[in-house]
Amino acid sequence: MAVLVTGGAGYIGSHMVWELLDHGEEVVVLDRLSTGFDWAVPEAAELVVGDIGDQTLVEETIRRRGVDAIIHFAGSIIVPESVADPLGYYFNNTVKSRALIESAVCCGVKHFIFSSTAAVYGTPRTNPVTEEELLQPESPYGTSKLMTEIMLRDTAAAHDFAYTALRYFNVSGADPKLRTGQSTKGATHLIKVACETATGKRPSMDVFGTDYPTPDGTCVRDYIHVSDLVNAHYLALRRLRSGAGSLVANCGYGRGYSVLEVIDAVKRVSGKDFNVVESGRRPGDAVAIVASAERCVSELGWRPAHDDLQEIVSHALRWEEALARRNRL
């Protein structure tokens, strides 16, 4: 019996693979290595290089390894890119997810965990945002993920199949043991960008917008440590295997930090006073979005272990330093 992790060579996927191996699970990764790295996949997991839309390959892999559950991370994740190339996003995120779900049903895989996003809410009417909030994505990226949630809902109603869709808030940090981390090239995420600036990879960084209606004028987000996030997936897997029904749950801590607070934390932890440029607003940014984490706690028994901005930043920084050493080799 094995768990199939799509996108397992990527940032969150590779942390998931370690989490599963740490719990004694057999793991097979399916990744086409378009943004992920083969070296990010631990040797104890099998890496199949290929596309989630290749149903022959997916079904052969499921049958060969006796896959009982799929954890689906593979997909495109850059919001502005999705605005410029909506059909590319609907193909990669929605059409190929449909193929993967069909392969799961055809092969009798009954458990499916899906990497969804807070972007399905668009700009929420109130914070913290619960799963009952209106779903009004403001980008093709968010819509492409919401469409997959809908396909999962309808598939679960029609077949012997149950899913968990986890809506991620701002995922950051790295494995505390530094076995993996965020290695994405040309990253746009705040904590990654600030750590790259602190370690000298960038000469300076921008703050996008200082005139928002927030206490310090910059946007507020709920930053969740990647290790706590993948642990929520592991708990979701155990819950599905115990026979529980489908579930949609937010993954965040329920606490927001502003862009300036995050940058201050990176400066404090790194001891580097790097250059920060106040720039105009970035199109498409919501003012503030913070999760209600109640459902994740009550339904999954989730007990976050790294709910501390300083710790998140410290792990992200240590990974950035490790990456800089690796790239110099």
Q: Which residues of the shown chain bind ligand UFG in the complex (CB under 6 A)? A: 77, 79, 117-119, 141, 170, 188-190, 193, 205-208, 219, 221, 259, 282, 285, 289
- Measured from the CB of residue 301, what is the shortest distance to ligand UFG in angstroms? 25
Of 189 and 318, CB closest to ligand UFG: 189
The C-alpha angle 19, 20, 22, rounded to 5 degrees, equals: 65
Q: Would you say 60 or 81 has its CB closer to ligand UFG?
A: 81
- Residue 276: CB minimum distance to ligand UFG, A: 9
Q: Among 11, 89, 121, 141, which one carries the catalytic annotation?
A: 141
Min separation Cβ 37 and ligand UFG, Å: 19
Comparison of 40 and 193: residue with beta carbon closer to ligand UFG = 193
Nearer to ligand UFG, 155 or 183 (CB): 183
C-beta separation of 247 from 164 below 8 A: yes
Residue whose Cβ sits closest to ligand UFG: 219
The C-alpha atoms of residue 228 and residue 327 are separated, in whole angstroms, by 27
How far is residue 41's CA from residue 17's CA, in Å, rounded to a whole number? Answer: 7
Active site residue 90: no
Q: Do strands 288-289 and 275-279 pair parallel, antiparallel, or not at all (unpaired)? A: unpaired
Question: Is 52 or 171 the residue whose CB approaches ligand UFG more closely?
Answer: 171
Residues marked active site are found at 141
